[in-house]
């Protein structure tokens, strides 16, 4: 598969989600705050918080790596939520994105392993 250059690669953007994304940035969960302030804010590639992509708002997005990072709380553990998340990941992967999912507990309790998973993916690019 031929990888498009950054200038050729465009994701669908939904301006109707901008205000909601701003609200989410102002009200990050404790796990999102930890990952942002202790790792992603100073990551070697630019990472955006609460980025609208198509009809979704992803927790974190790194364009250079074509990477979406999602931090899932308790609301993601029901059967319906897991099916929705699976469908959502498939749509995002259909745009050529990698999707990494972590639970709040993983970020808060096993932070080094979460960061290592992201770093490994970054090294492969």
- In a domain, residue 42? The reply is yes
In this structure, what DSSP letter does residue 27 have?
T
Predicted model pTM: 0.85
- In a domain, residue 10? The reply is no
Rounded percentage of the chain residues whose pLDDT exceeds 90: 69
Q: How many domains does the chain have?
A: 1
Of 44, 52, 20, 48, nearest to 36 by C-alpha is 48
Rounded percentage of the chain residues whose pLDDT exceeds 70: 87
- In a domain, residue 121? The reply is yes
Residue 1 has pLDDT above 80, yes or no: no
Span 48-62, average pLDDT: 95
Structure tokens given for 46: 């630019």
What pLDDT was estimated at residue 77?
A: 58
- In a domain, residue 1? The reply is no
Scanning the structure block, which residue is given the tokens 């709040």? 104
Residue span of the structural domain in which 124 resides: 29-74+95-125
**CATH assignment at residue 33:** 3.40.960.10
């Amino acid at each position: 598969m031929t990888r498009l250059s950054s200038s050729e690669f465009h994701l669908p953007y939904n301006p109707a989600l901008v205000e909601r994304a701003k609200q989410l940035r102002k009200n990050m969960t404790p796990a999102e705050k930890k990952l942002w302030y202790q790792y992603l804010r100073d990551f070697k590639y630019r990472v955006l918080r609460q980025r609208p992509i198509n009809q979704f708002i992803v927790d974190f997005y790194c364009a250079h790596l074509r990477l979406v990072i999602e931090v899932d709380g308790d609301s993601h553990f029901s059967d319906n939520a897991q099916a929705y998340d699976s469908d959502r990941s498939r749509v995002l992967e259909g745009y050529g994105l990698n999707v990494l999912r972590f639970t709040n507990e993983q970020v808060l309790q096993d932070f080094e392993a979460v960061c290592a998973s992201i770093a490994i993916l970054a090294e492969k690019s």
